[in-house]
Copies of this chain bind each other. A is one copy, B any other.
Amino acid sequence: MESRLDLFINRMVSQRACLDFAADATKDMSGPVFELGLGNGRTYSHMRQIMPDRDIYVFERAVASHPDSTPPEDRVLLGDVFETLPAALKRFGPTAALIHADLGGHNREKNDQFARALSPVIEPILAQGGLMVASDRMYFDTLTEVALPPDAVRGRCFIYTCT
């Protein structure tokens, strides 16, 4: 059986593997990168490091990240994602090259409900050929699931693309 430490390690290792994979696969795309949920800023710190030259926008209700991983003010889209994502669609069009979402808490059922509600809001924003990396299974109509990179743990993360 897995301890909470095992589960947590698997989740973090999977996020890293999926982000590394998605950053590389979309490196020639010009559209922005979206980080949904800043939290402590660990994945954002990693994204900045592997994508130093790309525009990374952070969607967050209330910024409370580690000082080393706090985005510049003009890169934070502050507010509820159900408002800021539609606004981003108006601003950027369907151009996002990479979207990473880790919005959940530790209540599985709530996370699943949230993912269901969020899916149609994310769906129109991803560019063709773009990748969406999520810590929860998403419910898309048109985006399709992509195979995970070798280091990722099945069920701990999901990758979708727009064909």
Q: In chain A between 39 and 62, which residues have their CB closer than 8 angstroms to a CB of chain B?
A: 41-43, 45-46, 48-50
Contact of B106 with A4 in the complex, beta carbons under 8 Å: no
Give the bracket for the number of chain A residues in contact with chain B. Answer: 20 to 34
Cβ of A153: which chain B residues have Cβ within 8 Å of it? none
A17 → chain B closest CB, angstroms: 10
Cβ of A43: which chain B residues have Cβ within 8 Å of it? 5
Among A8-16, A85-93, A116-124, the stretch in contact with B: A8-16
Contact of B106 with A1 in the complex, beta carbons under 8 Å: no
Identify whether the interface residues of A are mostly helix, strand, loop, or mixed: helix
> Is the CB of A68 closer than 8 A to any CB of chain B?
yes
> Is the CB of A3 closer than 8 A to any CB of chain B?
yes
Known A-B contacts A66-B106, A106-B66; A46 and B12 likewise in contact (beta carbons under 8 Å): no
Cβ of A68: which chain B residues have Cβ within 8 Å of it? 4
Cβ of A9: which chain B residues have Cβ within 8 Å of it? 9, 12-13, 16
With A5-B45, A6-B16, A6-B46 known, 9 other A-B pairs at CB within 8 A are A1-B49, A3-B48, A3-B50, A4-B46, A4-B66, A5-B16, A8-B12, A8-B42, A9-B16
